[in-house]
Amino acid sequence: MWLLFFAVFAGSYSIYFGYLKLYASKQWGLKTDAQFCPNITILVPAHNEEKVIKTKLKNLAEVFYPKDRMEIILIDDASTDQTLVKAYDFIKNHPELPVKVLKQNPRKGKASALNMGLEASSKDIVVMTDADSFWPPKILRKALPYMSDPKVGAITGHGMAANFGESWVTRTEESYLSLMKLIRLGESKIHSTIRFEGCFCVFKKNAFDKFDDESGADDSGTALRVVQNSFRAILVPEVYAFSDVPNKLWNRIKVKTRRAVHLNGLWFQCLKLLLKGHLMLPKRIAIPEIFIAIFNPIIFVGLSCVTLILIAFHPIALIPLIIGFCVVGLIPKVRNCLVQGILDQFILFYSIILCARKKKIVAWDN
């Protein structure tokens, strides 16, 4: 029985990842226009970002895109530090950058700030970006041609650790990000991925009504809304943004737990829509993702408990496990992936419990 459940657990990952890897290498089949240069609004929600806000605005000023075709809306969510002072100082010294500042007070959260910015936007395409993420200069030139296809309603990029190599935690995260990129690209080639990242997301206004302010996942939740409106939501593999990731294990666990709760909440939502026959995300994406996100962590925790019981009654069973871990430990990349994988399963299991209790974790907790 143990072997059967382990085969189900391991097989679901290997089969789905192999399937996605196959699709990731296929052509897009989209009608893109390399010269597509629409008018855009860039939304920057911020709460207590005094350390990075000037760097963020400077980064946007250096992006290769016509300034007369863009507007930047900074939405301050009741910051209690010098975020606004530093933002106004930068804007005063860079009048060529079209920046509008909105103030949300009292504090209502990131999604509410994004929706305030959406209402103030005068363009048909909106780009959202976190204040602590930074773009390469050509990011818009690489990304926006995909929005020229009428079937595409949203695109995202992938995050990269700006402090890679700072600790074993950040090195492990880099392996995780590479795997997530493969998954999201494969799903995008099939139809859509709802695994969006706040570092860079682009949406057509006619593809959604507002940013998701219910699930806590304003990026991925909005991507699901786009898909439910019969558009595609895709990852553009050439598009990426840099941000620091926590270099301490406990801080990284907190961030990953928050994201897991938000994303698993969406998979529970997808499961309900699937059972009602209303889910627009293809079943060959939705069913494996739901199984891996919701059922696999339960199987893993069950297998772990059974393994510990077997070891308690038969200590000799611990010997092959020790040998196996020692062998794996000789290969740093494999070791990092194994540690990350085990940690992720327990985080996902905990997130399932929190979702069942309808517990929400806010993004801005400072």
Domain boundaries, the chain: 1-28+133-366
* H helices present in 34-107, as ranges: 53-61, 83-93
Which one-letter amino acid corresponds to residue 160? M
d(CA 140, CA 241): 11
Mean pLDDT in runs of 10 for the chain (366 residues)? 83 94 95 95 97 97 95 97 97 94 94 96 96 96 97 95 76 79 97 96 97 90 98 97 85 88 94 97 97 95 89 76 65 67 91 83 53
Per the confidence metrics, is the pTM higher than 0.85? Answer: yes
Q: Which residue, 112, 200, 114, 189, is CA-closest to 154?
A: 200
Q: Which two tokens stand for residue 355?
A: 């979702």
d(CA 32, CA 232): 14
The answer to whether residues 286 and 279 touch, using CB atoms and an 8 Å cutoff, is yes
Position 366 scores a pLDDT of 45
d(CA 53, CA 83): 7
The answer to whether residues 10 and 296 touch, using CB atoms and an 8 Å cutoff, is no
Strands 125-128, 201-204: parallel, antiparallel or unpaired by DSSP? antiparallel
Q: Give 41's strand partners.
A: 71, 126
